[in-house]
């Protein structure tokens, strides 16, 4: 028996129309670093998205599933592109502005971008790579910047002004001939950070974005409503800003976009002034903000909750924000999971002390993400909070393959996808009987010492609990006796000093004694990837090349 329900496609077009009409008065606020930020209602932003769609098709000739890339900060114009490009039937490709130039060239060519929309302040970044992008025919520039850089870089590329393109089009939603889209067709694409080889492209469908947005808006996840103002610090090039722009346009939650002002001081200023109720970013952002407000106190009390993901959040960081009245919600995900994979939602009826063991996990799996743990031999392991294995997942917003570089082609590497279609995440951990995930490491970062495994994440979290330690990264290095042993690379807080023996003693009792590192190094900062994670391959290379001042105890 078939259902009697209507078959209405789940598309970004529906999110656009709903947000600009049903939540017309909700606002996107873009920080400018000046006296007054730029404010734009959803009705205005939606109308401008309609204009952008019309200009891309009518003026630039974009059609079908051609790729339109963005090289932009988090701002209102970027949100407009998020909505316009997929809704008109093209593919939104967010370029990571922190990638090395060779990787930026690689992903733009691999995706075969035809148009790039760029913030004027990023023209010095785009100009040197533009001559190496043969498929790019148009560059659309938004905001102040030296346009002459583009003329010198690629004479055959047409340069357009964002505002001029929009000005010639109607903002009326019904005036544009929207395509009849299949909800399973591509809507947006992001590339992985390329920490192990070339970046890989993940193409999100209209359906996956719609369902992911619905899940993100549940109270078990972000739980945003039109009464909220969310500070979107996580970059829009990082897995579509964790899906926040689409999710907020769906429910009318207001957005505070930091643009290029991502340093701790301006973030603290905009929180105190604009009073966001929610924020999302990686742990390194919140560590920097904590140091800033510790040195120069600001009022963060408006933020009822903060979503932290991208890498494990040190428990000491959670505790510090608890004291400021800001509740941290831990999440796990990756580009291949759109990225919502888990959220920390402790069971009901617990005291704060009883909630704590749940809060320091990676969280609970939502209905759209089905997990399992695979042992080294491929056997599926029990959920007993003890049996550690590689996490594998599947679901309606989980990738089944990577983009192959030409239409209709896909890449399904065996090390990333199981024979029966599950995504192999590369994360190692345990799952409790009630479905809470605790990650112990990345598979490639587990330290194999004398036949036993040491979790680098556990050592890092323990070290960052020391009052003098700002950051700590732990990697495996070769050892003649044990095969591998941990090297601890530590960044101290400003004005603090501590000796390695004290740090070793601090770890005693917090981890097994045999897991305590013998090798230590102090550094000014831990190398990080383009999305703010510790770049452990760089640390391992620095150690191998003798670039670190290592003390062995």
Alpha carbon 531 to its chain's center: 7
Average pLDDT of span 68-83: 98
Taking the C-alpha atoms of residue 422 and residue 497, their distance in angstroms, rounded to an integer, is: 47
* Residue closest to 276 by CA, chosen among 247, 254, 249, 296: 254
Tell me the CA distances in angstroms from 535 to 123, 194, 245, 344, one per residue in order: 27, 11, 27, 25
Question: What's the pLDDT tens digit per position in 423-475?
Answer: 999 999 999 999 999 998 887 788 888 767 788 888 998 999 999 999 999 99
Q: How confident is the model at residue 143 (pLDDT cuts 50, 70, 90)?
A: very high
47/529: higher pLDDT: 47
Pick from 288-292, 433-437, 446-450, 485-489: least confident: 446-450
Q: Is the pLDDT of residue 328 over 60?
A: yes
Q: Is the pLDDT of residue 416 over 80?
A: yes
Taking the C-alpha atoms of residue 163 and residue 182, their distance in angstroms, rounded to an integer, is: 30
pLDDT at 537: 87
pLDDT at 154: 80
Report the sign of the C-alpha dihedral through residues 340, 342, 344, 348, in that order: positive
Q: Is the pLDDT of residue 197 over 70?
A: no
Written as one string, the DSSP assignment of 145-208 is --THHHHHH-TTSEEEEHHHHHHTS---GGGS------TTSEEEEEE---SSSS--EEEEEHHH
Average pLDDT of span 165-169: 96
Pick from 65-79, 273-287, 367-381, 452-466: least confident: 452-466
Q: Which two tokens stand for residue 152?
A: 């010198």
264/196: higher pLDDT: 264
Question: What's the pLDDT tens digit per position in 224-243?
Answer: 999 999 999 999 999 999 99
Kind plus residue range of the DSSP H or E element containing 255? strand 254-257
pLDDT at 353: 95
Q: Which residues are catalytic?
A: 192, 336, 448, 453
Q: Is the pLDDT of residue 421 over 80?
A: yes
In this prediction the pTM is 0.88
CA angle 223, 228, 231 (to 5 degrees): 95
Q: Is the pLDDT of residue 116 over 90?
A: yes
CA angle 355, 357, 360 (to 5 degrees): 105
Q: Is the pLDDT of residue 113 over 60?
A: yes
Q: How confident is the model at residue 152 (pLDDT cuts 50, 70, 90)?
A: confident
CA angle 162, 165, 169 (to 5 degrees): 135
For residue 123, give the 3-state DSSP assignment: helix
* Residue closest to 204 by CA, chosen among 332, 395, 371: 395
* Residue closest to 138 by CA, chosen among 74, 66, 87: 66
In the block, which residue shows the tokens 């556990």?
A: 458
Q: How confident is the model at residue 405 (pLDDT cuts 50, 70, 90)?
A: confident
User: Which ranges of 278-430 would DSSP assign to H, the alpha helix?
Assistant: 283-295, 315-323, 352-359
Q: Which range in 143-152, 165-174, 190-199 is most confidently predicted, on average pLDDT?
A: 165-174
For residue 359, give the 3-state DSSP assignment: helix
Taking the C-alpha atoms of residue 99 and residue 530, their distance in angstroms, rounded to an integer, is: 6
Which residues make beta-bridge pairs with 259?
Answer: 74
Report the sign of the C-alpha dihedral through residues 354, 355, 358, 360, in that order: negative
Taking the C-alpha atoms of residue 289 and residue 458, their distance in angstroms, rounded to an integer, is: 23
Pick from 58-62, 250-254, 544-548: least confident: 544-548
Contact criterion met (CB below 8 Å) for 283 and 314: yes
Mean pLDDT, the chain, as a whole number? 94
312/321: higher pLDDT: 321
Percent of residues, the chain, with pLDDT higher than 90: 82
Pick from 198-202, 431-435, 488-492, 529-533: least confident: 529-533
Written as one string, the DSSP assignment of 467-512 is TTEEEEEEEEEEETTTEEEEEEEEEEPTT----HHHHHHHHBTTB-
Q: How confident is the model at residue 530 (pLDDT cuts 50, 70, 90)?
A: confident
Average pLDDT of span 50-73: 97
Kind plus residue range of the DSSP H or E element containing 7? none
Average pLDDT of span 126-143: 97
Q: Is the pLDDT of residue 378 over 70?
A: yes
Cβ-in-10-Å burial (0-12, 13-18, 19+) of 527 comes to middle
DSSP 401: S
pLDDT at 343: 94
Question: What's the pLDDT tens digit per position in 508-526?
Answer: 889 888 899 999 999 999 9
410-411 and 423-431 strand pairing: unpaired
Q: How confident is the model at residue 529 (pLDDT cuts 50, 70, 90)?
A: confident
pLDDT at 407: 63
pLDDT at 196: 53
Question: What is the strand order of the sheet 410-411 is part of?
Answer: 158-161, 138-142, 113-119, 67-71, 91-94, 186-191, 201-205, 402-403, 410-411
Domains contained in the chain, CATH given: 7-205 (3.40.50.12780), 446-552 (3.30.300.30)
162/495: higher pLDDT: 162
Q: Is the pLDDT of residue 195 over 80?
A: no
């Amino acid at each position: 028996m078939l259902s009697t329900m209507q078959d209405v496609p789940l598309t970004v077009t529906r999110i656009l129309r709903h947000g600009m009409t049903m939540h017309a008065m909700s606002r996107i606020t873009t920080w400018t670093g000046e006296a007054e930020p730029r404010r734009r209602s959803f009705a205005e932003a939606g109308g401008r998205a309609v204009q952008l769609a019309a200009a891309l098709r009518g003026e630039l000739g974009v059609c079908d599933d051609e790729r339109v890339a963005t090289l932009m900060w988090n701002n209102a114009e970027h949100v407009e592109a998020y909505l316009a490009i997929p809704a008109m039937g093209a593919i939104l490709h967010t370029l990571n502005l922190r990638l090395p130039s060779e990787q930026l060239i690689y992903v733009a060519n691999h995706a075969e971008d035809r148009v790039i929309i760029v913030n004027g302040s990023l023209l010095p970044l785009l100009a040197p790579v533009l001559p190496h992008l043969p498929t790019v025919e148009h560059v659309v520039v938004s905001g102040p910047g030296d346009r002459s850089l583009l003329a010198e870089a690629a004479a055959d590329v047409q340069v357009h002004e964002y505002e001029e393109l929009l000005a010639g089009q109607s903002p009326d939603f019904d005036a544009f001939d929207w395509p009849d889209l299949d909800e399973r067709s591509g809507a947006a694409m992001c590339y992985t950070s390329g920490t192990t080889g070339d970046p890989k492209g993940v193409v999100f469908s209209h359906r996956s974005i719609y369902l992911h947005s619905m899940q993100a808006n549940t109270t078990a996840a972000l739980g945003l409503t039109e009464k909220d103002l969310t500070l979107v610090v996580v970059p829009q090039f990082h897995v579509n800003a964790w899906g926040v722009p689409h999710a907020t346009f769906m429910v009318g939650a207001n957005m505070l976009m930091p643009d290029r002002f991502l340093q701790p001081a301006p973030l603290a200023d905009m929180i105190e002034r604009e009073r966001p109720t929610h924020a999302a970013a990686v742990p390194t952002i919140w560590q920097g903000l904590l140091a800033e407000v510790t040195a120069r106190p600001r009022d963060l009390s408006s933020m009822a909750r903060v979503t932290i993901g991208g890498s494990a959040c040190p428990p000491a960081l959670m505790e510090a924000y608890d004291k400021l009245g800001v509740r941290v919600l831990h999440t796990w995900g990756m580009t291949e999971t759109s990225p919502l994979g888990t959220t920390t939602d402790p069971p009901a009826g617990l005291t704060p002390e009883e909630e704590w063991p749940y809060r320091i996990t990676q969280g609970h799996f939502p209905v759209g993400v089905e997990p399992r743990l695979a042992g080294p031999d491929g056997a599926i392991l029990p959920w007993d909070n003890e049996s550690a294995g590689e996490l594998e997942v599947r679901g309606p917003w989980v990738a089944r393959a990577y983009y192959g570089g030409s239409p209709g082609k896909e890449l399904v590497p065996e090390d990333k996808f199981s024979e029966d279609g599950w995504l192999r995440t590369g994360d190692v951990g345990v799952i409790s009987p009630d479905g809470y995930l605790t990650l112990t490491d990345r598979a490639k970062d587990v330290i194999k010492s004398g036949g036993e495994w040491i979790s680098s994440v556990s050592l890092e979290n323990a070290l960052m609990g020391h009052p003098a330690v700002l950051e700590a990264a732990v990697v495996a290095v070769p050892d003649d006796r044990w095969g591998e042993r941990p090297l601890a690379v530590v960044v101290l807080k400003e004005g603090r000093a501590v000796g390695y023996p004290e740090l070793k003693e601090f770890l005693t009792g917090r981890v097994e004694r045999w897991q305590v590192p013998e090798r230590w190094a102090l550094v000014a900062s831990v190398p990080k990837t383009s999305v703010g994670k510790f770049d452990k391959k760089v640390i391992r290379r620095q150690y191998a090349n003798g670039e670190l001042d290592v003390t062995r105890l």
